[in-house]
Amino acid sequence: MDLDVVFLGTAASMPTAQRSPAALLVRRGSERLLFDCGEGTQRQLQRSAIGLPDLQEIFLTHFHADHFLGLPGMLKTFALRGRDETPLTVYGPRGLRELFNRLHPFLGRLPYPLTVVELDAGERLERGDYTIEAFAVEHGAEALGYTIAEPERPGRFDVAAADALGVPDGPARGRLQAGDEVAVDSGRTVTPADVLGEPRPGRKLVLTGDTAPSPRVVQAAHGADLLVHEASFLSDEAERARETMHSTAAEAAEVARLAQVRLLALTHVSPRYFGPELADEARATFPETVVPRDFDLIEVPFPERGAPQLVKSGARPPRSDPVEAPMIEPS
C-alpha cells in the first residue's frame, strides 16, 4: 500500500514565486486526503502530474486565510466540471460551520452533497485499515493537527517453520495468519506464534498545521514515521514566533527529537527564508530533517522496507510557458 505526502503549498501566510500557501495531499492507495487549502491549491494540483482529483475529503487545521482561501474556487470548479453525485466532506475544528456560512455567498448552490464536520481534539475517524485522529495544537483557540495511523500488522509468515511443522499449503496457513490455531496431521496443534514473526508496526504520519512547539505534538507524534511540522522562523526570531504562536526550526526539531520520529519535514516557510537555512538550524538538533519545496513529496514505506524519503520533483512547467520565449521585462 503506497503512502506519500505531496507538498502542494509550503509557504507561510502569503505565497511567493516559489511557494504556494498551505496545502498537503496525502495519498494512500487510491485515497486522496487534502490537508488545508490555501489560495491556488486547485491550480497547484492541476500544474502537478497529479491533476485535480474529485477530492472527497478535505481537512482544515485552522481558519487563518492562508489555509482556506483556495476552498471556494476549488468547490466551484468541482461543480463546473459536472460533479453532481460524489459527496465531499470538509473536516475542521469548531468554527468550521461558521466559516462555511461566511463562504456560502461565494459558493452558491453546489450540485453535489457537501458535509461540514467539526472535530474536537481526540476525535478519531476509523477507516478500516487506518485512522485519522485530530489533536490539539497551540495556535490560538481552535487549531488541530492530524495523525494518520495504521494499526499493527501481523508478523511475517515463516514459510520454513510452517513446512517443518507440517502445516499444509492453503487455508490452514491463512487461518494461522488470521490468528487461529490449526491441528496438523502429526496430531500436533500449531499456534500462530509458531509460524508468525513479531507483529510489525503500521505507519504513522503527523501533520501539525500551524503551532507553537507543544508537548501535545510530542505526544501525538511519538514514534511517527513522518512528522510534518511548521517552522515559520529561525531561532533569531524566537520572540516573534512566541507572539504569533508559531515555531522556529530548532523548536520543531526538538519536538521531533523528543517524539523520536523517523523523519521531520518542515513547512510553512516564511517569505524571508529560502529553506536550507531552516534545515541547517533543525539538523543541529535533529539530523533527519528535510524542507520540501512545492511539488516535492515524501514516500513513507512500511518500516521494514526502508526509511521515509524525500522525492524532489519539478512540477511540469505549465504548458503556457514557452522555454525559449523572452522574459517579461522587469518594471
Binding footprint of a second copy on the chain (CB under 8 A) = 6, 13-21, 27, 39-40, 42-43, 46-51, 53, 65-66, 69-70, 72-73, 76-77, 80-81, 102, 105-106, 293-295, 297, 311-331
**298 pairs with which residues across the strands?**
5, 310
Task: Give the residue with the Cβ less far from a second copy, 85 or 321.
Answer: 321
Task: Give the residue with the Cβ less far from a second copy, 16 or 177.
Answer: 16
129 in Cβ contact with 150 (< 8 Å): yes
Please state the φ and ψ torsions of residue 124, each to the nearest 5 degrees. -130, 135
Task: Give the residue with the Cβ less far from a second copy, 126 or 239.
Answer: 239
**End-to-end CA distance of the chain, in Å?**
50
Contacts with 60 (C-beta within 8 Å, 6 or more apart), sequence order? 35, 36, 37, 67, 68, 90, 91, 92, 93, 96, 99
The answer to whether residue 66 is catalytic is yes
Take residue 108 and report the three cell numbers written for it: 452558491
Minimum separation from the CB atom of position 42 to a second copy (A): 6
Q: Is 119 exposed, middle or buried (0-12, 13-18, 19+ CB in 10 A)?
A: buried
Take residue 56 and report the three cell numbers written for it: 472527497
67 in Cβ contact with 35 (< 8 Å): no
Minimum separation from the CB atom of position 188 to a second copy (A): 48
Take residue 199 and report the three cell numbers written for it: 507483529
Minimum separation from the CB atom of position 257 to a second copy (A): 28
Instruction: Say which of 36, 66, 210, 296 is annotated catalytic.
Output: 66
Contacts with 315 (C-beta within 8 Å, 6 or more apart), sequence order? 44, 47, 48, 49, 294, 295
Task: Give the residue with the Cβ less far from a second copy, 40 or 92.
Answer: 40
Task: Give the residue with the Cβ less far from a second copy, 1 or 65.
Answer: 65
Contacts with 237 (C-beta within 8 Å, 6 or more apart), sequence order? 248
Minimum separation from the CB atom of position 22 to a second copy (A): 12
Minimum separation from the CB atom of position 26 to a second copy (A): 12
Active site residues: 66
